[in-house]
């Protein structure tokens, strides 16, 4: 449960979707909740939570993979409960905001062909996506309009890192993605409350309200929230046009230039992918990670976000690695299936990342039992 002290705005009841006609071939438009939020804030955690809760909805999820299509995002979304996840469709061509017209629309249309399998859609954008253009497409695409409608935009915010993310100013003086994501939100989950003090939470509420004073702010841990705040809000059924960030960002909070709503990313942030076919050893992986995350220099790589699916030597379990800045965790994620591709896959998002040297050091450290890696934890 969240510990919001604010009254939620009135939710608009939407009838559960039913076929329009007796032959079950035409369907009512399906609601879409856009899940936005900066790198590592807790978006996938929220999606997984929704999938495992009882809400009577059959949910389809669209996730957006970073960089090349490695299947990591897909592996992170787990349907453990009663809720059905009929399809995962990944957009293989970078962020949604950069490929809105083609991949995003095609993906939704493809999903709508299996309309009988689901009655709600969650779209999880990447941590660097500006949700504005995606929301606009849900309005303006004639073909899509009949099949889906935007229900609301939920932005997950990392209480531990928000201050830092908002402080980052773009060289071109536009609002940062973190600010835009807050600006567009109807509902904001101020997540990871376990990592900050009550005083910090209060200050963060102030920072968020300075950007978007009209959103509902819910303080959460592991993105756990009463789903009445997330599903079937009907927010945009009450509005006459697409959402706009501009009216929500107060002029003094974040400087906005002419192109504030265009999909341009923070300069210097980029993504590298590492693929390793040999099995890896878990302890050396942890040491390699700790060196990368904790021993960084100003000239060296700076990791904002790292995710990996590991094939660990001697284990039948898939292992997932999650890092947000200097925090990381490694989790078992179910047994490998027969015939499943066991390539170890890693995606790193950050600055000054050199793919070739990262791959070389990872392979040397984590796949060769003869190599010993000096790290503080092992010494």
Residues of this chain that bind ligand GTP (CB under 6 A): 37, 39-45, 127, 156, 191-192, 194-195, 221-223, 305, 322, 324, 329
User: Closer CB to ligand GTP, residue 122 or residue 256?
Assistant: 122
Cα distances from 3 to residues 44, 108, 193, 226, 269, in angstroms, run: 21, 34, 10, 10, 34
Q: At closest approach, how far in Å is the CB of 306 from ligand GTP?
A: 9
Q: At closest approach, how far in Å is the CB of 304 from ligand GTP?
A: 9
User: Closer CB to ligand GTP, residue 256 or residue 272?
Assistant: 272
Q: At closest approach, how far in Å is the CB of 150 from ligand GTP?
A: 20
User: Closer CB to ligand GTP, residue 119 or residue 221?
Assistant: 221
User: Closer CB to ligand GTP, residue 133 or residue 147?
Assistant: 133
- Tell me the residue nearest to ligand GTP as measured from the CB: 127
User: Closer CB to ligand GTP, residue 37 or residue 147?
Assistant: 37
User: Closer CB to ligand GTP, residue 44 or residue 235?
Assistant: 44
Q: At closest approach, how far in Å is the CB of 194 from ligand GTP?
A: 5
User: Closer CB to ligand GTP, residue 37 or residue 350?
Assistant: 37
Q: At closest approach, how far in Å is the CB of 123 from ligand GTP?
A: 13
Q: At closest approach, how far in Å is the CB of 267 from ligand GTP?
A: 19
Q: At closest approach, how far in Å is the CB of 349 from ligand GTP?
A: 7
> What phi and psi, each to the nearest 5 degrees, are found at residue 260?
-60, -25
């Amino acid at each position: 449960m969240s510990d919001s002290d604010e009254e939620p705005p009135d939710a608009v009841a939407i009838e559960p979707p039913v076929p329009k006609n007796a032959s079950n071939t035409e369907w009512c438009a399906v609601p879409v909740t856009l899940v936005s939020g900066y790198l590592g804030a807790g978006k996938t955690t929220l999606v997984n939570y929704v999938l495992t809760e009882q809400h009577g909805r059959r949910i389809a999820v669209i996730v957006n993979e970073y960089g090349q299509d490695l299947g990591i995002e897909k592996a992170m979304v787990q349907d453990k409960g009663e809720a059905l996840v009929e399809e995962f469709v990944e957009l293989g061509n970078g962020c949604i905001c950069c490929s809105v017209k083609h991949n995003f629309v095609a993906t939704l249309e493809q999903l709508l062909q299996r309309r009988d399998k689901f009655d709600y859609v969650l779209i999880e954008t990447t941590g660097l996506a500006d949700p504005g253009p995606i929301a606009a497409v849900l309005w303006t695409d004639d073909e899509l309009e009949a099949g889906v409608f935007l229900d609301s935009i939920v932005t997950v915010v990392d209480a531990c890192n928000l201050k830092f993310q908002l402080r980052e100013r773009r060289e071109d003086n536009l609002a940062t993605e973190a600010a835009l994501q807050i600006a567009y939100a109807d509902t904001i989950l101020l997540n990871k409350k376990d990592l900050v003090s009550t005083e910090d939470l209060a200050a963060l509420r102030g920072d968020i309200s300075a950007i978007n004073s009209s959103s509902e702010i819910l303080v959460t841990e592991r993105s756990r929230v009463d789903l009445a705040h997330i599903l079937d809000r009907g927010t945009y059924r009450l509005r006459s046009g697409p959402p706009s960030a501009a009216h929500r960002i107060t002029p003094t909070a974040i400087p906005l230039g002419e192109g504030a709503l265009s999909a341009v990313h923070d300069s210097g942030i980029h993504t590298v992918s590492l693929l390793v076919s040999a099995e890896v050893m878990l302890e050396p992986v942890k040491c390699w990670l700790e060196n990368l995350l904790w021993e960084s220099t100003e000239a060296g790589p700076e990791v904002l976000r790292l995710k990996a699916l590991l094939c660990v030597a001697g284990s039948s379990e898939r292992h997932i690695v999650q890092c947000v800045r200097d925090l990381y965790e490694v989790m078992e994620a179910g047994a490998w299936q027969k015939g499943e591709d066991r390539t170890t896959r890693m995606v790193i998002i950050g600055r000054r990342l050199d793919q070739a040297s990262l791959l070389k050091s990872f392979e040397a450290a984590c796949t060769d039992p003869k190599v010993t890696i000096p790290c503080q934890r092992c010494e």
